[in-house]
A and B are shown apart, each in its own frame.
Chain A
Amino acid sequence: VQRMHLIQVDSVQRWMEDLRLMAECE
């Protein structure tokens, strides 16, 4: 179950890494 949980979030973690630097300028 723990492993499944990790597999399930890897794409979300990648998205969050990109999101962290995403600030849309004025």
Chain B
Amino acid sequence: RAAQGRAYGNLGNTYYLLGNFGKAVKSHQERLEIAKEFGDKSAERRACSNLGNACVFLGEFAMAAEYYKRTLHLARLLKDKAIEAQACYSLGNTYTLLQDYEKAIEYHLKHLLIAQELADRIGEGRACWSLGNAYTALGNHEQAVHFAERHFDISKEIGDRS
């Protein structure tokens, strides 16, 4: 049963990389069930991340957000800050796709705080870029320019010309 779980995970990843997102979701859902049977929280977290990603490419944004929220909960349980940051970033982007900019800002700010805590300048730059865009979408140009300037400074610092 444990090997079956791993095989479903690998199948899900392969379908995903082949662009067959429907089959990827089915495989990762099986992987998730087996992870739960074993109480394997890391595997459960991985399955939720992979499911969220596949749902994004199926255009199932609300479902993706639910899987990413489960990922976030499990990342906190596992005390994995990097995964917690990644889940917040995914949620911020997914809420942008859902055009819920207030929620997008909420998660991008959470991502920004963790990126700062982890001294992850690339992550911080991406959070500022995303926040600038979300505030622009809301018409809050003061906050938008604030984050655009921070994004600009960080990009210069890390030598990201694009």
Contact = CB atoms under 8 A, between A and B. Distances in A.
Interface of A: 4, 7-12, 15-16, 19-26
Contacts of A7: 133, 136
Interface string B45-66: 0100110010011000000000
Nearest to A25: B13
A16 B126 CA distance: 13
A8 B10 contact: no
B49 A8 contact: no
A19 B53 contact: yes
Contacts of A23: 12-14, 16-17, 50, 53
A18 B105 CA distance: 20
By DSSP majority rule, is chain A's interface helix, strand, loop, or mixed?
A: helix
B46 A24 contact: yes
A20 B14 CA distance: 12
By DSSP majority rule, is chain B's interface helix, strand, loop, or mixed?
A: helix
10 smallest beta-carbon distances between A and B, as pairs: A23-B13, A26-B9, A26-B6, A8-B137, A11-B130, A15-B93, A24-B46, A11-B129, A12-B93, A8-B133
A3 to B, nearest CB: 11
Interface in B66-113: 89-90, 93, 96-97
Given A4-B136, A19-B56, A26-B6, A12 B97 contact: yes
A4 B136 CA distance: 8
B120 to A, nearest CB: 15
Given A11-B93, A15-B93, 12 more contacts: A7-B136, A12-B96, A16-B57, A19-B90, A20-B57, A22-B53, A23-B12, A23-B13, A23-B14, A23-B17, A24-B46, A26-B5
B96 A24 contact: no
